[in-house]
């Protein structure tokens, strides 16, 4: 019989619960973002009918076309890279921005959120591995951004996000997740910012991320199936 969205949603929640149990964490400490990129409003609607409330997109333009056709009670997170010239459009569409990687972008989001009259929590993307990935702040560059972040009223920095270099074996991601958490602990203490959120872990490695302290996992293919190429 064909696997339904409900089947995959149940499997993912079972995996989440097992990882939380292994880590001695409560299941409600970890929230899931259903990454619906490349899938249309019909698929989002079906997921929403199974009780999914938070969706992730990685492109502003795709989200602009999709979100108006989706149920109005859903929350939308931008999980992908954002160019600063799209900050205004992103602030209008999204409830949270996961991959802020410059002070310029952070300031633009703060201005845009002020203009929208909304609070738009953001996370800083940190390139913990220092290799391959084009995006993310180098750990050495983050302190300047964090020092300035304290003054921003509309786009508060609530945590850190990372995308480790892709490796099929989930264990390869563990040192990167662990490092993000250690940087968070260090910067929380040093800048007095409540960086409570850690956005890390995707379909194939979210259990490891949960064991290392993730509060947000970003799950696409395990819920919606492959996106093709
Ligand atoms: C696509 C995407 C995900 C989800 O990846 P899956 O492997 O499909 O779970 C998570 N985070 C970001 C930033 C993405 O672009």
Q: How many other CB atoms sit within 10 Å of the CB of residue 198?
A: 24
Phi, psi at 24, each rounded to 5°: 65, 30
The rounded mean pLDDT for the chain is 95
- Which atom of ligand 1 lies nearest, measured to the CA of 203? 9
Measured CA to CA, the distance from residue 104 to residue 107 in angstroms comes to: 5
User: pLDDT of 75-129, one tens digit each?
Assistant: 999 999 999 999 999 999 999 999 999 999 999 999 999 999 999 999 999 999 8
The percent of residues above 90 in pLDDT, for the chain, comes to 90
Do the domain assignments include residue 188? yes
Ligand 1 pocket residue status of 58, Cβ below 6 Å = yes
Structure tokens at 95: 């409830």
Do the domain assignments include residue 60? yes
Q: Is the pLDDT of residue 229 over 70?
A: no
The CA–CA distances, whole Å, from 64 to 41, 60, 177 equal: 11, 6, 31
Ligand 1 centroid, distance to 15 Cα (angstroms): 17
Ligand 1 centroid, distance to 25 Cα (angstroms): 23
- Which atom of ligand 1 lies nearest, measured to the CA of 161? 13
Split at pLDDT 50, 70, 90, the class of 133 is low
Side-chain-side CA neighbours of residue 36 (13 Å): 29
Do 10 and 220 contact (CB within 8 A), yes or no? no
Q: Is the pLDDT of residue 31 over 90?
A: yes
pLDDT of residue 135: 86
Q: Mean pLDDT, to the nearest integer, of 207-211? A: 98
pLDDT of residue 221: 97
Give the structural domain span for 23: 5-223
Nearest residue to 214 via CA among 172, 188, 184:
184
Ligand 1 centroid, distance to 111 Cα (angstroms): 28
Number of domains in the chain: 1
* Ligand 1: residue whose CA is nearest its atom 7: 203
Phi, psi at 223, each rounded to 5°: -100, -40
Ligand 1 centroid, distance to 221 Cα (angstroms): 8
Ligand 1 centroid, distance to 72 Cα (angstroms): 23
Q: Of the residues 38, 220, 224, 225, which should be mutated to test ligand 1's pocket, given the most ligand atoms within 8 Å of the CB?
A: 220
Do 58 and 33 contact (CB within 8 A), yes or no? no
Do the domain assignments include residue 81? yes
Do the domain assignments include residue 228? no
Enumerate residues 6+ apart whose C-beta is below 8 A from 157.
Answer: 100, 106, 121, 122, 123, 124, 145, 146, 149, 193, 195
Q: Mean pLDDT, to the nearest integer, of 15-29? A: 98
Ligand 1 pocket residue status of 221, Cβ below 6 Å = yes
Q: Mean pLDDT, to the nearest integer, of 207-227? A: 96
Q: Is 204 exposed, middle or buried (0-12, 13-18, 19+ CB in 10 A)?
A: middle
pTM higher than 0.85: yes
Q: Residue 102: give its domain's CATH number.
A: 3.20.20.10
Do the domain assignments include residue 113? yes
Measured CA to CA, the distance from residue 164 to residue 173 in angstroms comes to: 6
pLDDT of residue 192: 85
Ligand 1 pocket residue status of 201, Cβ below 6 Å = no
Ligand 1 centroid, distance to 219 Cα (angstroms): 6
Split at pLDDT 50, 70, 90, the class of 132 is low
- Which atom of ligand 1 lies nearest, measured to the CA of 80? 13
pLDDT of residue 130: 77
Ligand 1 centroid, distance to 192 Cα (angstroms): 30
Side-chain-side CA neighbours of residue 33 (13 Å): 28
User: pLDDT of 135-168, one tens digit each?
Assistant: 899 999 999 999 999 889 999 999 999 999 989 9
């Amino acid at each position: 019989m064909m696997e339904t969205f409900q089947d995959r949603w149940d499997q993912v929640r079972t995996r989440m619960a097992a990882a939380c149990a292994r880590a001695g964490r409560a299941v409600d400490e970890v929230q899931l973002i259903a990454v619906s990129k490349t899938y249309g409003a019909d698929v989002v609607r079906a997921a929403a009918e199974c009780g999914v409330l938070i969706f992730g997109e990685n492109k502003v333009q795709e989200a602009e076309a999709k979100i108006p056709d989706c149920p109005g009670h859903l929350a939308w997170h931008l999980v992908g890279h954002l160019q600063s010239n799209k900050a205004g459009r992103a602030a209008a569409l999204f409830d949270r921005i996961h991959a802020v990687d410059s002070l310029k972008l952070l300031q633009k989001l703060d201005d845009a959120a002020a203009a929208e009259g909304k609070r738009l929590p953001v996370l800083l993307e940190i390139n913990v591995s220092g290799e391959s990935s084009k995006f993310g702040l180098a750990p050495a560059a983050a302190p300047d951004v964090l020092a300035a972040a304290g003054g921003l009223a509309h786009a508060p920095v609530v945590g850190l996000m990372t995308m480790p270099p892709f490796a099929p074996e989930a264990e390869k991601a563990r040192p990167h997740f662990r490092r993000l958490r250690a940087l968070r602990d260090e910067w929380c203490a040093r800048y007095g910012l409540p960086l409570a959120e850690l956005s890390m872990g995707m379909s194939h490695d979210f259990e490891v991320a949960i064991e290392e302290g993730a509060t947000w996992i970003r799950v696409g293919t395990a819920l919606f199936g492959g996106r093709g190429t």
